[in-house]
């Protein structure tokens, strides 16, 4: 069974700084998806960024980028120029190709300090 | 565009009472549908998923059940709630072959 580990329960950073959230996973599969989801306080969970395991290039979405290390089974999220609106719970998630049941980590609560 | 809605947003129920949480998806057909429960410090736990009408798979044996009476409707139920059923319940759907979940707004259940 796949597992996803987020070892940082809480983090805080000053506004405009860069922060990196860690995620490791365990799988015996070679083809899979990885995701970062954001859950703002009292708001809907939304997708931040996704990565297909067969792609060597790291995914980027504006201020959000990932460092995908397939051999190390590591998938960290970097948020550049952090903004107050980035304050949220962040969940790392894994899904096998062809199996759309996601396995989630326990989350990292990120607080951006003005 | 596709939208997903679930209700009620909050619910306070006594132990032993029944439960019904509803979720509907609009703007798509034959979605895969999911019920997750979110507990503090434990991430999201998949409870049920459905690939079609009447097709329900249970991931965790428990006091809850799910049904899919229509293509875009997914219902989470219980006949008798337990204290341990308290939590935040999320409905979600996926387009085929993307692995990407789209979540509803969530339902916070408190069992007293």
Determine how β-strand B73-78 pairs with β-strand B19-26.
antiparallel
Distance of CA A108 to the CA centre of its chain: 9
Residue A101 has pLDDT above 90, yes or no: no
Contact of A98 with chain B, judged by CB distance below 8 Å, is answered with yes
B contacts of A45 (beta carbons < 8 Å): 90, 103, 106
Q: Is A93 left (phi over 0), alpha (psi -120 to 50) or beta?
A: beta
Percent composition of chain A: helix, strand, coil (DSSP 3-state, to 5): 5, 55, 45
Name the minimum distance, in Å, from the CA of B79 to any CA of chain A: 26
Name the minimum distance, in Å, from the CA of B69 to any CA of chain A: 21
Identity of the residue in B36, B42, B106 whose CB atom sits nearest the CB atom of A106? B42
* Residues A39-94: tens digit of each pLDDT: 998 778 999 999 999 998 999 999 999 999 999 999 999 999 999 999 999 999 99
Out of A57-66, B4-13, B25-34, B53-62, pick the least confident: B53-62
* Residues A82-94: tens digit of each pLDDT: 999 999 999 999 9
Contact of A89 with chain B, judged by CB distance below 8 Å, is answered with no
CB B43 to CB A104 under 8 A? yes
Contact of A101 with chain B, judged by CB distance below 8 Å, is answered with yes
Q: Which is nearest to B57 in space by CA: B32, B82, B30, B84?
A: B32
CB A102 to CB B101 under 8 A? yes
Contact of A9 with chain B, judged by CB distance below 8 Å, is answered with yes
Residue B14 has pLDDT above 90, yes or no: yes
The widest CA-to-CA distance across chain B, in whole angstroms, is 40
Identity of the residue in A91, A98, A100 whose CB atom sits nearest the CB atom of B44? A91
Which is more confidently placed, A41 or A107?
A107
Q: Which residue, chain included where needed, has tokens 């129920």?
A: B13
């Amino acid at each position: 069974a796949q597992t996803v580990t987020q070892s940082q329960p809480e983090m805080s950073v000053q506004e405009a700084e860069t922060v990196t959230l860690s995620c490791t996973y365990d799988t015996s599969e070679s083809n899979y998806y990885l995701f970062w989801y954001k859950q703002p306080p009292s708001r809907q969970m939304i997708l931040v960024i996704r990565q297909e395991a067969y792609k060597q290039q790291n995914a980027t979405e504006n201020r959000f980028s990932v460092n995908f290390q397939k051999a190390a089974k590591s998938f960290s999220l970097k948020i550049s120029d952090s903004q107050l609106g980035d304050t949220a719970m962040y969940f790392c998630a894994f899904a096998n190709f062809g199996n759309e049941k996601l396995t989630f980590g326990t989350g990292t609560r990120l607080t951006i300090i003005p | 565009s596709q939208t997903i809605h679930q209700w009620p947003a909050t619910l306070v129920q006594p132990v032993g009472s029944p439960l019904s949480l509803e979720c509907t998806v609009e703007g798509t057909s034959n979605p895969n549908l999911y019920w997750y429960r979110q507990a503090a410090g434990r991430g999201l736990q998949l409870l049920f998923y459905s690939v079609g009408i009447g097709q329900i798979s249970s991931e965790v044996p428990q006091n809850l059940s799910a049904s899919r009476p229509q293509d875009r409707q997914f219902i989470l139920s219980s006949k008798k709630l337990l204290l341990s059923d308290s939590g935040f319940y999320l409905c979600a759907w996926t387009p085929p072959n993307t692995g990407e979940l789209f979540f509803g707004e969530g339902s916070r259940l408190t069992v007293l």
